[in-house]
Amino acid sequence: MRSWYAIDSRLRSSGATGYERSRFPDDMVRVLLHRFARRGDVLLDPFAGTGTTLRVASQYGLTGLGFEPDPELYDVCQRECPPGTLIINDIAQRLCDYAIPECDLILTSPPFSPSGLQDGDGRDYFETIHTVFTLAKGRLRKDAMVLVEGVNVRSEEGVADPLAFNLNVVLSTIFTFQGEIVFCDTSPTANLFGFQHSHMLIYKN
């Protein structure tokens, strides 16, 4: 299994600007759907952001379902995703409040900093991540693949935080770890939160 790809993060087909730092490149989603999705699958993105995953998924004949609590990003999502995509303007911790179908695949990227995660009940980042993925597991088909992008973060002062590695510690208690795909950003201005690559963590339900 090929375990790394080099992608220029500037290559994004969507017109929405201002969210480049936290947005998936379309090509990353294409690579993953090509390998892990089948036409007709229901894809869940609990942290939908600008809706890149859901938009590209629709081009592959998948049905996209996502959560995005930020009203501005939710609007971008609504604008960019075709009809038939279900986008819920709420935090993913409330997943069980909605009648959502059984899902075949998760592809997502949680916020890359604890302060970016809307918590709603005062708990810490990894507890909230654990809650969201445990709830999502309840809506996932057996053997479904779970793909979660994590980045390790380095501050401007040079302090490194192994966020991606800690994410794996939590997710491995819920799903079975299968491996990772590293995405290297070849853009000359790339600075993915202090590093020029991200980790797509791969699990099976």
Ligand X SMILES: C[S@@+](CC[C@H](N)C(=O)[O-])C[C@H]1O[C@@H](n2cnc3c(N)ncnc32)[C@H](O)[C@@H]1O
Give the binding range for ligand X (CB under 6 A) out of 48-56, 98-106, 162-170, 192-200.
Answer: 48-56
Q: Of 9, 50, 58, 85, which lies in the binding site for ligand X, with binding defined by CB under 6 A?
A: 50
- The least distance separating ligand X from the CB of residue 19, rounded to whole angstroms, comes to 6
- Does position 150 bind ligand X by CB under 6 A? no
**Min CB(52)–ligand X separation in Å:** 3
Closest CA to 106 of 159, 143, 158: 143
SS3 154: strand
24 binds ligand X (CB under 6 A): yes
With CB under 6 A as the contact rule, the residue among 33, 37, 49, 63 that binds ligand X is: 49
Residue 23 as a binder of ligand X (CB under 6 A): the answer is yes
Query: Judged by CB, which is closer to ligand X: 22, or 184?
Result: 22
Half-sphere exposure of 47 (CA within 13 A, CB side): 21
Per CB under 6 A, 52 contacts ligand X: yes
Does the footprint of ligand X cover residue 62 (CB under 6 A)? no
Q: Residue 64, interface with ligand X (CB under 6 A)?
A: no
Q: Is 117 in the site for ligand X (CB under 6 A)?
A: yes
Distance CA 122, CA 125 (A): 9
Q: Which residues of 132-161 are buried (b: 16+ CB within 10 A; e: fewer)?
A: bbeebeebbeeebbbbbbbbbbeeeeeeeb
Draw the binding track, 71-110, toward ligand X (x: CB under 6 A; -: no contact). --x-----------------xxx---------------x-
Which segment (35-43, 46-54, 139-147, 174-182) binds ligand X by CB under 6 A? 46-54
Query: Scanning residues 186 to 205, which ones bind ligand X (CB under 6 A)?
Result: none
Which residues, 6+ apart, have CB-to-CB distance to 203 below 8 Å? 145, 146, 147, 148, 171, 172, 174, 175, 176, 177, 178
CB 149 within 8 A of CB 200: yes
Q: Is 18 exposed, middle or buried (0-12, 13-18, 19+ CB in 10 A)?
A: exposed
Note the helical H segments in 25-137.
26-36, 52-59, 71-80, 125-137
What are the residues binding ligand X (CB under 6 A)?
22-24, 46-47, 49-50, 52-53, 67-70, 73, 91-93, 109, 111-112, 116-118
